[in-house]
Amino acid sequence: MNQKKLKPNLVIKNCGQLLTVSENSKDLVGLIRNGYVGIMGEKIIFIGTKEEYDRQIDDTDSQVIDGSNRVVLPGFVDCHTHLVFGKSRVEEYATGLIPGGLEKLRDSGIKTGMEASVDMTRSEPEDLLYLESHNKIDRMIRNGTTTIEIKSGYGLDKETELKQLRVISKLKQNTKADISATFLGAHGWPREMSKDRYIDFLINEMIPMVAEEKLA
């Protein structure tokens, strides 16, 4: 009796290298050369060789993508990011490549490191912060990242931490990435508040507020 063939609505055929990343594979990546993938809706229903494909798949009505000379693999998971932040510290980075460069910046009273990021994130309007973050995620998706963890932590005050978390919430709704939000209010402490007072503020005000609004 012939086995009923699967009918995917999308097929990727002739994949130069198909990486299954199976835990049982001998080569760690589960390499199948000239492999085939069958997809139905959002579910992968087939992975295998051409011979297996011919036996199990009916692609009469399928959209077919040619994967020749391409590597097909699961999406990357970026499990630790601080993606939502104001502006850029690329000039600081470039200056740091010069011996003594960062020391000169600090001696001149120019903020560096996390302190600089906190100030820039506090001052950036929420809509601009969202737009810049959305553009970053678009680039990540084009390079194969499909799941992203995003932290707050560049505000260290109620207004900016909530602003970051609201942006992350909007990104969840309006990008193709799977996004997990983390409240990182204890990333540091603000210069305008003592450590003990800030810890009390986090425990008694910020964490309950974030939980109530389900922002992380």
Indicate whether 37 and 83 sit together in one domain: no
Angle formed by the axes of helices 126-142 and 158-174, to 10°?
40
Indicate whether 143 and 82 sit together in one domain: yes
Return the percentage of the chain with pLDDT > 70, whole number.
Answer: 99
Under DSSP, the state recorded for 100 is T
Q: Which domain holds residue 134?
A: 78-88+118-213
pLDDT value at 108 more than 70: yes
pTM equals: 0.85
Indicate whether 133 and 60 sit together in one domain: no
Helix (H, G, I), strand (E, B) or coil at 24: coil
Q: What whole-number distance in Å separates Cα of residue 69 and Cα of residue 141?
A: 20
Indicate whether 82 and 167 sit together in one domain: yes
Q: What is the CATH number of the domain that holds 40?
A: 2.30.40.10
Q: What whole-number distance in Å separates Cα of residue 2 and Cα of residue 67?
A: 29
pLDDT digits (tens, 9 = 90+) for 7-59: 999 999 999 999 999 887 777 789 999 999 999 999 999 999 999 999 999 99
